[in-house]
Amino acid sequence: MSSSSPLLAELIEALRCLPGVGGKSAQRMAFHLLERERERGLKLAGALSEAMQRIGHCSRCRNFSEEPVCAICASHSRDRHLLCVVESPVDLAAIEQATGYRGQYFVLMGRLSPLDGLGPKELGLELLGERLAEGEVQELILATNPTVEGEATAHYLAQLARAAGIRPTRLAHGVPLGGELEYVDRGTLAHAFGGRLAVD
């Protein structure tokens, strides 16, 4: 985009780093902030600057944290025998909001994907191995996404757990609650059919 203001062009380009934001959306956001929300724009800039400088990773679970150990890992009310592995902090937040899970977490910050340069080292699996070796964890809950890479990651983690004498479990995948079979995509239906369980 051509602009008479290099600063405006820089702002638009900076906004494009957000997921799903292209040139037009970034331009619309920049103009909106400058036209109507200057005070909130300054607040946003301050919050962004502060967050980028002060938010790091928990030394135990790798989740985002301002402290060396996050609140979940530091909590004495969480069940230390349960460790749920997720791909991202967004997944952790979804589980916290939607379930009554009271165990602990380990955040991979990705999934095994050699083509993208993401191997065991990048996912912090050495740190996970150390946690499993501590002897507290009895069940490793594999909550990676049901993608090809997510399934491969879960398989790798299950082997890691078994080698440490820990029981690996996988989140159930299949037909959504309230869904009708005719509207479920073929892959999901095939996965649900293949993973069917006995009815008590």
Residue boundaries of the structural domains of the chain? 75-170
pLDDT of 69 above 80: yes
Q: Is the dihedral of CA 108, 112, 118, 124 positive or negative?
A: positive
Structural contact between residues 133 and 164, judged by C-beta atoms closer than 8 angstroms: yes
- Is 75-170 a domain of CATH 3.40.1360.10? yes
pLDDT in tens, 2-21: 567 899 999 999 999 999 99
Residues linked to residue 114 through DSSP beta bridges, in sequence order: none
> What's the mean pLDDT in 35-50?
96
State what percent of residues in the chain have pLDDT above 90.
Answer: 78
Burial letters 40-64, b for 16+ CB under 10 A, else e: ebeeeeeeeeeeeeeeebbebbbbb
Question: How sure is the predictor about 187, in pLDDT bands with cuts at 50, 70 and 90?
Answer: confident
pTM here is 0.84
Question: How sure is the predictor about 199, in pLDDT bands with cuts at 50, 70 and 90?
Answer: confident
Burial letters 159-168, b for 16+ CB under 10 A, else e: ebbeebebeb
pLDDT of 189 above 90: no
Question: How sure is the predictor about 115, in pLDDT bands with cuts at 50, 70 and 90?
Answer: confident
For residue 2, what pLDDT is reported? 53
